[in-house]
Amino acid sequence: MHLAALHTPSQIQLNKEGNLKHFLTIEGLSKETLTKILDTAASFFNDQNQLITNNLLEGRTVMNLFFENSTRTRTTFEAAAKRLSANVLNIDIARSSTSKGETLRDTLWNLEAMAADIFVVRHSSSGAAHFIAKDVCPHVAIINAGDGRHAHPTQAMLDMLTIRRETKKDYKDISIAIIGDIKHSRVARSDMAALQTLGCKDIRVVAPNTLLPYGFDDYGPEVRLFNNMEDGIKDCDVIITLRIQNERIDSPALSSQAEFYKMYGLNKERLALAKPDCIVMHPGPMNRGVEIDSSIADGPQSVILHQVTNGIAVRMAVLALAMQGQLQEKGLIEAIAV
Amino acid sequence: MHLAALHTPSQIQLNKEGNLKHFLTIEGLSKETLTKILDTAASFFNDQNQLITNNLLEGRTVMNLFFENSTRTRTTFEAAAKRLSANVLNIDIARSSTSKGETLRDTLWNLEAMAADIFVVRHSSSGAAHFIAKDVCPHVAIINAGDGRHAHPTQAMLDMLTIRRETKKDYKDISIAIIGDIKHSRVARSDMAALQTLGCKDIRVVAPNTLLPYGFDDYGPEVRLFNNMEDGIKDCDVIITLRIQNERIDSPALSSQAEFYKMYGLNKERLALAKPDCIVMHPGPMNRGVEIDSSIADGPQSVILHQVTNGIAVRMAVLALAMQGQLQEKGLIEAIAV
Amino acid sequence: MHLAALHTPSQIQLNKEGNLKHFLTIEGLSKETLTKILDTAASFFNDQNQLITNNLLEGRTVMNLFFENSTRTRTTFEAAAKRLSANVLNIDIARSSTSKGETLRDTLWNLEAMAADIFVVRHSSSGAAHFIAKDVCPHVAIINAGDGRHAHPTQAMLDMLTIRRETKKDYKDISIAIIGDIKHSRVARSDMAALQTLGCKDIRVVAPNTLLPYGFDDYGPEVRLFNNMEDGIKDCDVIITLRIQNERIDSPALSSQAEFYKMYGLNKERLALAKPDCIVMHPGPMNRGVEIDSSIADGPQSVILHQVTNGIAVRMAVLALAMQGQLQEKGLIEAIAV
């Protein structure tokens, strides 16, 4: 993997007209591009607030390449692509020809030659989707469905869409707290990048020092660290609680679930410190009673299931936009039409 | 599971107008409702007796949730939903987020929030589909594809459709024998309920006492027990042979396959005791030479493969009807239109 | 399996009008039939040389029955069937009811009764697809996706389509070399049959004697054996390199990969002996540095990835043609319309 490339704000995901042709990472994308994604996603809801279906990918072939298993994320992409009328193929990429001594590059070229238009890529290595887009299949629209600890950009965009649709406020006027295991969360990293690009001025990271990433100081002046939960969520508009992964428990970073809940679990008393209309988000799957109390998860301020629905809309948007960006680059369409 | 609820004739599967919105069990459904399902299923055959396709579920998302593996039943539902132009997603529910410590309830809510319209549920526990429809996702149309020993209602309805299409007689004029392992068969239980509701007056259960369920006396005056095969099938219009499951062999209930065949296997001599136009049914998969002789299974009176085709039609019908019942309850359509 | 039947030029795959109704093997098909497949496949490319989609299988149900796992071949058929707007079901045939003691015949009859129109069959036993078409489900269009060492007819047809589209010469004017493990290659066997039928006069088989099949002398006067690579490829128009399967290495037939590369690996020096516009083909997956050098595989004369795309077109063609042949036989259409 070309790790060096990950830290340059890459223009690889844009075509010459500046439109998306891959969707790899939030970093380096402009406010206009992120807003285009959000506008497109929002347009996929009808007046009854139901997700529509349409023909934007009719006749197109979407292949899901999940090198790392994630039933849930794969399902969301499959549902999204089918709502756009695409043909969807789930490729058993782990069992595919790499096991016969073929190189990964040859396997991917073969899949591209089967007339694939879009690859949805999930991989445990940071930069995998980036590498495929840059060095293997630049003419296939590559959608990053999560790569190592690096990025989970559709999750970030569904969080942004949820904030926009639920708070109905501008990002610049929002105070947001992100609570928990920032260190191991690709969601947190992508969320912070998106929030900064969209103009958010008050991003609070609430975590013990052991769950903060190295180099945390580099995140910019909008981002502040709070070790104390109560201070962190005071007067917030949005709270994002992160999943504590079981494998972190009993490590030097985290003594026990009960200890985490005592220090950072979101409950009624703590939520009362935020603004009265503060919304509560969680990327799922939840550990009830660890990072969040059930009364909050199921309560009136929770928008956790709305995030899931918004996730379908956002995935529809990036699939449709990246496809159009590829067609535009190939001269097959003149302008982006969604 | 709320086992108590199973024994009350539940109205949970009907909307306020009395139309199906889930399809969980035969018990408690009226003759009119069962007839509506059968009429709808019958309408899906064209003049050449071929199954049609249509757009009744276009733009709808059907998720198959098979907690218990059943390739065959899953395939029939997938084929049926696709004939209605639905988007179908097979969810690897066993490997899904429950393995990450998420509750089943949260997993189901997440799937619902992915804009699912219908869940097809197969589970080894009696009442699982009922529980989901009542307590977890009442606004998703829940279709029971078999739950424990309790119910297999689409199998019952395909049997009813087969009887209607093949005998061309009214249910009230039919004598029917159900032969074999009644005790462990969810098919038998569902078939008897459907036959009684549809007005059948002569239902004969042919089995050794060891293969009868407890509380058999409660089934009503239309149901009679025969330990002797020859008496049981005399002058019948319909014979349903049930599968002997291999794991029952060599148990106290059943000494050997050969012994069962000798006592209860359907062969030419025995079939000759039924009416000349008696049809022979079997839910599959068959043990040839155990519950049925190959000459019968492949003979002119066998309608066993017609049952399979009718099964697609019946599954199309319950998918379409339950979807419309949900839409009607939500005020999105006024009347059931299939 | 009826092995005897394999060696008679079977007319089983044609309907009474002489049109394809199954696609089992190249052997016994006329030049006209093969040309019809190639013409149909070629018609599925648009002016920009992109594969089109169409509605030729709309409302039809295609079931993939892969008794032997082959992710790549299954994916190509799934992609092809979906481009024709078919409903596609991947049947987990290994885990299906045969495990419950049901006969294979009953399992297949059940799948047919689910209103299947086409079975795509992959099996490790020679003649499996032939057996199903002849003795089990003659009214389902059976497409052979590879059976044992016997035949891989869609691979042969995609090779023929590639030769036609890339050389733009008539088969009768082409010299072609097939290099490597002829003995274990169903591709080689099917390719030779197709080339002979299409009129090719100069087919050169380049291999050590240990990798030639028994009875090699029977292949006809157009086919010549070369143990020497340089002689074999001299002035060729087309070179097909075959995959060396890893399990052959270190056997009496093949000492080492390095040894094979030294004797038969295709590199620049050797390719220079062929005609300047000679094209290079490989069925994939490639062992780079064994049967082919990377400079050739990725070089200007390689058409290896075009083969993959042509494979989708050819599979679309045989699916559409066999379906129409079945409908014609049943009197449901009058003439083949693709």
CB–CB of A178/A243 below 8 Å?
Answer: no
Taking residues B93-115, report their average pLDDT. 85
Taking residues B221-228, report their average pLDDT. 93
Closest to C277 (Cα-Cα) out of C158, C166, C160: C166
With an 8 Å Cβ cutoff, are C286 and A113 in contact?
Answer: no
Using a 10 angstrom Cβ sphere, with 0-12 exposed, 13-18 middle and 19 or more buried, the burial of residue A32 is exposed
Question: Within a domain: residue B59?
Answer: yes
Judge if C129 and C237 occupy the same domain: no
Q: What percent of chain B is modeled with pLDDT above 90? A: 75
CA A280/CA B296 separation, integer angstroms: 64
CA C218/CA A162 separation, integer angstroms: 71
Q: What percent of chain A is modeled with pLDDT above 70? A: 94
Task: Please provide the DSSP assignment of B224-286 as one string.
Answer: EEESSHHHHHTT-SEEEEPPPPGGGTTBTTB--HHHHHHHH-B-HHHHTTS-TT-EEE--S--
Banded pLDDT at A3 (limits 50, 70, 90): very low
Averaged pLDDT score across all residues of chain C: 91
Residue range A180-208, pLDDT digits in tens = 999 888 889 899 999 999 999 999 999 99
CA A161/CA A279 separation, integer angstroms: 13
Taking residues B48-55, report their average pLDDT. 96
Banded pLDDT at C220 (limits 50, 70, 90): confident
Closest to C150 (Cα-Cα) out of C172, C130, C135, C180: C130
Q: Is pLDDT at B249 greater than 70 in this prediction? A: no
- Tell me which chain B residue has its CA closest to the CA of residue C104: B285
Residue C202: per-residue pLDDT: 97
Judge if B158 and B269 occupy the same domain: yes
Judge if B125 and B204 occupy the same domain: no
- The pair of structure tokens assigned to B295 is 């000459």
Closest to B168 (Cα-Cα) out of B34, B32, B303: B303
Banded pLDDT at C102 (limits 50, 70, 90): confident
CA A115/CA C103 separation, integer angstroms: 38
Q: What percent of chain C is modeled with pLDDT above 90? A: 75
Judge if C176 and C133 occupy the same domain: no
Residue B317: per-residue pLDDT: 98
Q: Is pLDDT at B221 greater than 80 in this prediction? A: yes
Residues in chain A within 8 Å Cβ distance of C72: 96-97, 110
Tally of structural domains, chain C: 2
Taking residues C5-13, report their average pLDDT. 61
CA A69/CA A71 separation, integer angstroms: 6
Residue B187: per-residue pLDDT: 87
CB–CB of C274/A129 below 8 Å?
Answer: no
Residues in chain C within 8 Å Cβ distance of A112: 305
Based on DSSP, count helices (H) and strands (E) in chain B, helices before strands. 12, 9
Residue B126: per-residue pLDDT: 84
With an 8 Å Cβ cutoff, are C50 and A115 in contact?
Answer: yes
Angle, alpha carbons C18-C23-C27 (nearest 5°):
80
Question: Within a domain: residue B184?
Answer: yes
CA A194/CA C147 separation, integer angstroms: 52
- Ranking A26-35, B96-105, B254-263, C196-205 by mean pLDDT, the lowest is B96-105
Residue C161: per-residue pLDDT: 98
Closest to C190 (Cα-Cα) out of C157, C156, C222: C156
CB–CB of B32/B155 below 8 Å?
Answer: no
Question: Within a domain: residue B335?
Answer: no
Question: Within a domain: residue A337?
Answer: no
Residue A33 DSSP SS3: helix
Neighbouring chains to A with at least 3 Cβ pairs closer than 8 Å: B, C
Using a 10 angstrom Cβ sphere, with 0-12 exposed, 13-18 middle and 19 or more buried, the burial of residue A55 is exposed
For chain A, the C-alpha Rg in angstroms (whole number) is 20
Amino acid at A109: W
Amino acid at A302: S
CB–CB of C118/C64 below 8 Å?
Answer: no
Q: Where is pLDDT greater, at C236 or A208? A: C236
Distances (CA, A) of B162 to B157, B277, C289: 8, 14, 61
Residue B109 at interface with chain A, using a CB cutoff of 8 Å: yes
Residue C8: per-residue pLDDT: 45
- Ranking B38-42, C16-20, C201-205, C254-258 by mean pLDDT, the lowest is C254-258
Residue B115 at interface with chain A, using a CB cutoff of 8 Å: yes
Q: What percent of chain A is modeled with pLDDT above 90? A: 75
Taking residues B98-108, report their average pLDDT. 83
Residue C67 at interface with chain B, using a CB cutoff of 8 Å: no
Residue C250 at interface with chain B, using a CB cutoff of 8 Å: no
Banded pLDDT at B315 (limits 50, 70, 90): very high
Taking residues C8-18, report their average pLDDT. 81
DSSP 8-state code for residue B134 = I
Residue C2: per-residue pLDDT: 40
Interface of C with A in 2-21 (CB under 8 A): none
With an 8 Å Cβ cutoff, are A305 and B110 in contact?
Answer: yes
Question: Within a domain: residue B130?
Answer: yes
Judge if C54 and C81 occupy the same domain: yes
pTM of the model: 0.93
Judge if B140 and B221 occupy the same domain: no
CA C50/CA C54 separation, integer angstroms: 13
Q: What percent of chain C is modeled with pLDDT above 70? A: 94
Banded pLDDT at B8 (limits 50, 70, 90): very low
CATH of the domain at B231: 3.40.50.1370
Banded pLDDT at A1 (limits 50, 70, 90): very low
Q: Where is pLDDT greater, at B185 or B79? A: B79
Residue range C286-325, pLDDT digits in tens = 999 999 999 999 999 999 999 999 999 999 999 999 999 9
Judge if C220 and C286 occupy the same domain: yes
Q: Is pLDDT at C100 greater than 80 in this prediction? A: no
Residue range C112-144, pLDDT digits in tens = 999 999 999 999 888 899 999 999 999 999 999
Residue B338: per-residue pLDDT: 83
CA C108/CA C174 separation, integer angstroms: 43
Judge if B136 and B259 occupy the same domain: no
Residue C6: per-residue pLDDT: 45
Banded pLDDT at C178 (limits 50, 70, 90): very high
Residue B248: per-residue pLDDT: 67
Nearest to A113 among C50, C53, C305 (CB): C305
DSSP 8-state code for residue A180 = S
Question: Within a domain: residue A222?
Answer: yes
Residue C46 at interface with chain A, using a CB cutoff of 8 Å: no
Give A206's strand partners.
A179, A226
Banded pLDDT at C1 (limits 50, 70, 90): very low
Residue A98 DSSP SS3: helix
Strand B279-281 and strand B87-91: the pairing is: unpaired
Torsion of CA C109, C115, C120, C124, to 10 degrees: -20
Give A143's strand partners.
A23, A120
Residue B5: per-residue pLDDT: 42
Using a 10 angstrom Cβ sphere, with 0-12 exposed, 13-18 middle and 19 or more buried, the burial of residue C243 is buried
The helix (run of H) or strand (run of E) holding residue A271 is: helix A268-271
Residues in chain B within 8 Å Cβ distance of C89: 75, 78-79, 82
Judge if B193 and B67 occupy the same domain: no
CB–CB of A37/A143 below 8 Å?
Answer: no
Which of the listed ranges A220-234, B139-153, C244-258 does the model predict with the highest average pLDDT?
Answer: A220-234
- Ranking B21-35, C206-220, C264-278 by mean pLDDT, the lowest is C206-220
The owner of tokens 């069937």 is: C81
Residue B236 at interface with chain C, using a CB cutoff of 8 Å: no
Residue range A151-184, pLDDT digits in tens = 789 999 999 999 999 999 999 999 999 999 998 8
Question: Within a domain: residue B334?
Answer: no
CA B62/CA B7 separation, integer angstroms: 28
Residue C3: per-residue pLDDT: 41
Angle, alpha carbons B272-B274-B275 (nearest 5°):
105
Judge if C271 and C322 occupy the same domain: no
Q: Is pLDDT at A280 greater than 50 in this prediction? A: yes
Q: Is pLDDT at C255 greater than 80 in this prediction? A: no
Angle, alpha carbons C196-C198-C202 (nearest 5°):
50
Judge if B292 and B313 occupy the same domain: no
Residue B197: per-residue pLDDT: 96
Q: Is pLDDT at A6 greater than 70 in this prediction? A: no
Residue B3: per-residue pLDDT: 41
Judge if B180 and B321 occupy the same domain: no
Give the closest-approach CA distance of B83 to chain A in angstroms.
16
DSSP 8-state code for residue C94 = T
Banded pLDDT at A8 (limits 50, 70, 90): very low
CB–CB of B238/B167 below 8 Å?
Answer: yes
Omega prior to A285 cis, within 30 of 0: yes
Residue C186: per-residue pLDDT: 82
CA B133/CA A216 separation, integer angstroms: 47
Taking residues C274-293, report their average pLDDT. 95
Q: Domain limits at A47?
A: 3-152+309-329
CA C55/CA C38 separation, integer angstroms: 19
Residue range A224-250, pLDDT digits in tens = 999 999 999 999 999 999 998 776 666
- Tell me which chain A residue has its CA closest to the CA of residue C288: A102
Taking residues C70-75, report their average pLDDT. 92
Banded pLDDT at B219 (limits 50, 70, 90): confident
Nearest to A97 among C72, C76, C82 (CB): C72
CB–CB of A315/A10 below 8 Å?
Answer: no
